[in-house]
Amino acid sequence: RKSAEKSYHNTCTESIKNRQRDMTTMLYQLEGALERRELEMYLQPKVCAENGAVAGAEALVRWKHPEKGFISPATFIPLCEENGLICQVDLLIFEQVCRCLSRWREAGVELVPVSVNVSRQHFRDPEFLSEYKRILETWKVPPEWIELEITESIMFSGSEFQYVRDFIQTLHKIGFTCSLDDFGSGYSSLSLLKDLPIDCLKLDRQFIISRFEEQSTRTVIEMIMDLARKLGIMTVAEGVELEEQVSFLREAGCDLIQGFYFSRPLPVEEFERYAFGRSLG
């Protein structure tokens, strides 16, 4: 028995060690990937619930590892956040977004706003904003075309409410639009909507998949949509995969829909075909 426990213990320590080694290797490869620019931006369409027209996009990072193939951002983004690499990743994506918007403008297509994820790390160090401003100027992109997505969880990670509100105001002063991402994934309070000067709320995917069948969930979604409309806040539902979800959300007054039902995140060229009917490369 003792030896069984011991071997169990050893296996655990082994697997923790392996995990740490994997993470260290991944981190090392990620640094290389950043230098070699192996990270790519994909765009997922946000579609108007009323008429199905493309009304925006979210920029999502993709890493194509030379041997391991595609690695999910859900795996490497948290790792980047622990190591400060996230700032470089986000700058890279931000720059690609600006490059796209500038190209679209030159091509004369009707622009759609693109949203970019802002990591919690940036909250502690708003210095990143001067970098963003510099990139905007380089590509001559008006900030109004860019929406910054701030995850709801920053509200519960020790940030002072006042601080978050000031931060959003700073973003507005620059000209960015601001959305509250993953709304409903934690214990969000509806008063967040009243007290934070956000332009848009994104109803979290978990919210929709796990509890959509229940009447009570539907009622809560309807209430959130109603409240947002009355407060003049745009609504986006994410992770929408099914027809019945689309029709319910449309009925509930949700403005935009983002999810596999309409489209997965796409490489830029494919997004352009989807949104503008042609590739602009």
Can residue 152 be called a binding residue for ligand C2E (CB under 6 A)?
Answer: no
In angstroms, give the least distance from the CB of 267 to ligand C2E: 13
In angstroms, give the least distance from the CB of 252 to ligand C2E: 17
Residue listed under structure tokens 């994820």 = 117
Considering CB distances under 5 to 8 angstroms, the limit depending on partner class, which of ligand C2E, Ca ion, none binds residue 93? Answer: ligand C2E
DSSP secondary structure string, 228-273? HHHHT-EEEEES---HHHHHHHHHHT--EEESTTT---EEHHHHHH
Based on CB atoms, which residue is closest to ligand C2E, 86 or 256? 86
In angstroms, give the least distance from the CB of 86 to ligand C2E: 6
Based on CB atoms, which residue is closest to ligand C2E, 109 or 261? 261
**Residue 149 near residue 117 (C-beta atoms within 8 A):** yes
**Residue 57 near residue 44 (C-beta atoms within 8 A):** yes
Alpha carbons 208 and 140: distance in angstroms, whole number: 38
Considering CB distances under 5 to 8 angstroms, the limit depending on partner class, which of Ca ion, ligand C2E, none binds residue 259? Answer: ligand C2E
Considering CB distances under 5 to 8 angstroms, the limit depending on partner class, which of ligand C2E, Ca ion, none binds residue 29? Answer: none
In angstroms, give the least distance from the CB of 46 to ligand C2E: 10
Helix (H, G, I), strand (E, B), or coil: what is residue 11? helix
- Applying CB under 6 A, the span of 73-81, 97-105, 219-227, 247-255 interacting with ligand C2E comes to 73-81
Pairing of the two strands 200-203 and 177-183: parallel
Residue of 171, 239, 254, 257 interacting with ligand C2E (CB under 6 A): 239
- Applying CB under 6 A, the span of 23-31, 82-90, 186-194, 213-221 interacting with ligand C2E comes to 82-90
Please report, as ranges, the residues that interact with Ca ion according to CB under 5 A. Answer: 117, 149, 181-182
For 242, list phi and psi in degrees, rounded to 5: -120, 145
Residue of 26, 205, 224, 255 interacting with ligand C2E (CB under 6 A): 205
- In whole angstroms, what separates CA 150 from the centre of its chain? 8
**Terminal-to-terminal C-alpha distance of the chain:** 66
> Which candidate, 3, 79, 97, places its Cα nearest to that of 43?
97
**Residue 147 near residue 179 (C-beta atoms within 8 A):** yes
Q: What would the x/- binding string for ligand C2E be over residues 97 to 136, using CB under 6 A?
A: --------------------x-x-----------------
Burial class (CB in 10 A: 0-12, 13-18, 19+), 229: middle
Can residue 73 be called a binding residue for ligand C2E (CB under 6 A)?
Answer: yes
Residue of 33, 54, 55, 60 interacting with ligand C2E (CB under 6 A): 60
Alpha carbons 252 and 224: distance in angstroms, whole number: 9
User: Residues in the site for ligand C2E, rule: CB under 6 A?
Assistant: 44, 60-61, 72-74, 77, 86, 89-90, 93, 117, 119, 181-182, 205, 238-241, 258-260, 265
